[in-house]
Amino acid sequence: MRATVLVRPKPGILDPQGQAVGTSLRDLGFAVGETRVGRLIDVEVDTNDAAAARDEIDAMCERLLTNPLIESYTIEFNGAEFNGAEFNDAGQGDA
């Protein structure tokens, strides 16, 4: 099955890239508030079991896809979104 991992800078972490994007949007005349930039990773996993896939992706995020010091993530399967594993402790997934 195909999963989408959404990686975001954790709340409170300075995001100069997001600030620059926000400034540019305002320069273009858009009335925007805080703007933050993350990363999207589509990954095909070799299972159709959502629980197994979540475990696998949690491991991928812990070992490579994210840096838990500064990033949190959520996982989407078939339109359903899940928060990352417990090490991903900032609760950013509800944003």
Is residue 7 within 8 A of residue 84, CB to CB? The reply is: no
Amino acid at 91: G
Read out DSSP for 71-85? EEEEEEETTEEEE--
Residues in binding contact with another protein, number by CB under 8 A: 10
Closest CB to another protein among residues 18, 50 = 18
Map the footprint of another protein across residues 43-72, applying CB under 8 A: 64-65, 67, 69-70
The single residue among 11, 20, 81, 89 that binds another protein, judged by CB under 8 A, is 20
Q: Rule CB under 8 A: is residue 13 a binding residue for another protein?
A: yes
State both tokens at 88: 């991903």
Q: Compare residues 24 and 47 and give the one whose CB is closer to another protein.
A: 24
Q: Residue 66 CB: number of other CB atoms within 10 A?
A: 23
Residues 6+ apart with CB under 8 A from 52: none
> Contacts for 14-22 with beta carbons within 8 Å, 24 or more apart?
none
Under rule CB under 8 A, residue 16 binds another protein: yes
Whose Cβ is closer to another protein: residue 24's or residue 49's? Answer: 24
Note the residues at the interface with another protein (CB under 8 A): 13-14, 16-17, 20, 64-65, 67, 69-70
